[in-house]
Structure 1
Amino acid sequence: MIVTFKSPAAGDVIMFADVAHLMMEIMGKDATATGIVTIEQLPAAIARLRAAVVADKARRANLADEDPPHNEATEDGDKHDHVSLAQRAVPLLELLEWSLKKNKPVTWGV
């Protein structure tokens, strides 16, 4: 399933549901089918997402060359290149930051 994060401040950010739910949890939101990050909640959501990105980068920097995951298993058993939390979070983080600058909430839904 796909989840689309929307704001009048910038373009949509589309994610697979499992990744979107992780982002919601990091931002301190319930992983629901629809929701909102209000203007008042944006600074805290941005701070939490930035902290998670920094922590992910630090964790990955401390791994030995042979330790980082090079592939991830997909639901159908295939494999694809590992995508870090930082890579997944950046588009949403940018949407949140633009929304804060323009005083617009961020919503999501299917």
Structure 2
Amino acid sequence: METELSEFERQMRRDIDSFMDKAQETRRQAATSPPEWPTDSDEETRVKAPRSKPEGAPKTGHRVKLAVRTKQLEMDTEFEHVSSSISKIEAQLEAEKAARKAGYPIIGYVIETSRL
């Protein structure tokens, strides 16, 4: 038991020392080498990645899906609202207000709330 523990400690010490040596070497290279600035040819060959969100979409907030109805004995309809609020509760309240404004007086339940 004692030999296994001491062997484990030695191995961990070697791994830590190796890691620290690599980290110090990386810092030393970054401090001594000049920065590499992009050239004009790099900009021409670089392809822009497609944006996942439209320009006007909020970058933070929640997407709330509600089950809503216009009549008491009607099937539930899914209503989706995107809120810029970081609070989950505020986003749900905003979604309920938006659903009522859109003509759905009966709010059944929250189907899903996801972060943007």
Larger Rg: 2
Specify which structure has the bigger relative contact order, considering alpha-carbon pairs within 8 angstroms and separated by 6 or more residues: 1
- The answer, yes or no, to whether TM exceeds 0.5 is no
| TM-score normalised by the chain length of structure 2 | 0.26
